[in-house]
Amino acid sequence: MKPVLEIQNISKKFRIHHENQPYLSLRDSLASVFKRGTSSTEDFFALSDVSFNVNSGESIGIIGKNGAGKSTLLKILSKITPPTSGKIISRGRIASLLEVGTGFHAELSGRENIFLNGSILGMKRSEIQRNFDAIIDFAGVEKFLDTPLKHYSSGMQLRLAFAVAAFLENEILIIDEVLAVGDAEFQKKCMGKMEDVSRNEGRTVLFVSHNMKAVQQLCKRIVWIHNGKVHSDGLSRDISDNYLKTTSVNTSYNEIKALIDNLPSDPDFKLENICITQNKVEGSQLYNGESFQIEIHYRVLKQCLGLRVYFDLCDNDENILIRSFNDENLEEIPVVMPGNYVSTATIPSNLLAAVSYELRIHAGIYNVKMCTPELGIRIPIDINSSNKINIAYSGDTIRSKISPFINWKNLFITT
């Protein structure tokens, strides 16, 4: 069977203009109208020789940093903009959701926009009518169906736009990061619908997102776009692990200090510094064969009952793997006097797997309030393997979140 989409050597060139002039006053700006200014141009390739095929029924995640060319690629696939070179062979109708409000008219009602957007996507009126009730039910905008779209919030517009794209019977569904506009409940609902569209209805989904958890949940395959080119194309878990590893940076002292300086002030507590050290060397690139320390430096401004600092160690899916408090070994809630403190937690060797994590530092007064934001100070850390022997079996595709040494005993019984 031929692929439902063939992307063949797609390139997209833009011309950038540069004006070579300093900051001018209003008088100088008016005078410059009558003078010939100096300017220059350069060619910029948002995409360069991008090629890959998409089979019918596949769910493919497209990932990459901001500016990598992901949205440009989707706009070309959606026929919003043409490629500079290369060609796309499509063997199915494409429905795309790239920006909130795309394909809608602000002066028309929600009902009218469903028919308008459906027609733009190539649907017949009978097909739209057949799916109309399901669209309204999923979007949850029945009460505002005959209200002009200009009175809808961005979230309501997103609900309606996604429902039209998902319920009409296109063979290919293209979704950009636009889902980030919706609330958590609606995002979960959308993910469930996209899984159903792909796995049960056999339709093809191209999904762009920076949320690796969502991409891994929906897509078995990922195409990684980097600097306008296909960096790699393969299994979801393998590509996402490599992507997260290369995009995670070694957080410097200055970066941590900048995060701390931007915290809202609190009358009882002031975070001063966070140090991550291994063998007395500071940094967030660590080895799992040796223990490391998390030092939290802070100042208590007033006498407090039950003020404590703690950390969460999270995986890249934002699941909390470890939560530990600096007072968890105490039998009573402590009275903390004003002054400077350093609380140190030691993470034992051979506990963590050789993957990327996120460290979140918190502070709060027991049963009273949080002294830091709910998500705390977030610091990426990378754990690298320091094992001298690394045995891997070809069938091993599951990557554990933690990797403690387990004491096994193998006893030969008899032949």
Q: What is the DSSP string of 323-356?
A: EEETTTT-SSPPEE-SEEEEEEEEEPTT-B-SSE
Q: Out of 195, 220, 247, pick the residue that ends a domain.
A: 247
Give the separation between CA 298 and CA 263, rounded to whole angstroms: 13
Residues 96-132: tens digit of each pLDDT: 777 666 678 889 999 999 998 888 877 788 888 988 9
Q: Which of 247, 273, 295 is the last residue of a domain?
A: 247
* pLDDT 10s digits, 190-218: 888 888 877 777 788 898 887 777 787 78
Res. 169 pLDDT band, cuts 50 70 90:
confident
pLDDT (0 to 100) of residue 405: 82
Answer whether 398's CB lies under 8 Å from 336's CB.
Answer: no
Highest mean pLDDT among 224-228, 283-287, 397-401: 224-228
Per-residue confidence (pLDDT) for residue 396, from 0 to 100: 44
| Burial class of residue 266, CB neighbours in 10 A (0-12, 13-18, 19+) | middle
Band (391; pLDDT cuts 50, 70, 90): very low
Indicate whether 295 belongs to any domain.
Answer: yes
Nearest of 320, 365, 358, 361 to residue 344 by alpha carbon:
361
Share of the chain above pLDDT 70, in %: 86
Q: Calculate mean pLDDT across residues 158-187.
A: 76
Instruction: Give residue 392's pLDDT.
Output: 44
Question: Does residue 409 belong to any structural domain of this protein?
Answer: no
> What's the pTM?
0.60
Most confident of 4-8, 165-169, 179-183, 400-404: 4-8
Question: In terms of domains, do 346 and 229 share one?
Answer: no
Residue 31 resides in a domain: no
- Averaged pLDDT, 35-62: 83
- The count of structural domains within the chain is 2
* Domain coverage including residue 63: 58-85+92-247
Mean pLDDT of 158-180: 79
Q: Are residues 378 and 343 in the same domain?
A: yes
Cα distance between residue 336 and residue 303, in whole Å: 6
Asked if residue 219 and residue 270 are part of one domain, the reply reads no
Question: Within 78-183, where are the H helices?
Answer: 110-120, 125-139, 154-167
Considering the domain architecture, whether residues 72 and 219 belong to the same structural domain is answered as yes
Sole residue written with tokens 């990378």: 382
Structural domain includes residue 414: no
Residue 277 and residue 225 share a domain: no
Which CATH number does the domain housing residue 372 bear?
Answer: 2.70.50.60
- 315-350 pLDDT, tens per residue? 877 789 999 999 888 888 889 999 999 999 999 998
Shared domain check, 369 and 335: yes
pLDDT reported for residue 345: 94
HSE, side-chain direction, 13 A CA sphere, residue 144: 16
Question: Per-residue pLDDT averaged across 266-273, rounded?
Answer: 92
Task: Tell whether 277 and 378 lie within a shared domain.
Answer: yes
Residue 407, in any domain of the structure: no
Return the structure tokens found at 73: 């690629």
97: domain CATH number? 3.40.50.300
324 and 199 co-located in one domain: no
Per the domain annotation, does 366 fall within a domain?
yes
pLDDT band at 178 (very low <50, low <70, confident <90, very high): low
If asked whether residues 213 and 113 sit together in one domain, one would say yes
Rg (CA), the chain: 27
- Same domain (yes/no): 206, 300: no
Same domain, 132 and 213: yes
Residue 30 forms part of a structural domain = no
Domain end (from 247, 280, 303):
247
pLDDT in tens, 281-297: 887 778 888 899 999 99
Check residue 85 and give its pLDDT. 92
Q: Is position 396 within any domain?
A: no
Task: In whole angstroms, give the CA distance from residue 379 to residue 402.
Answer: 18
- As a whole number, the mean pLDDT across the chain is 82
Same domain, 208 and 78: yes
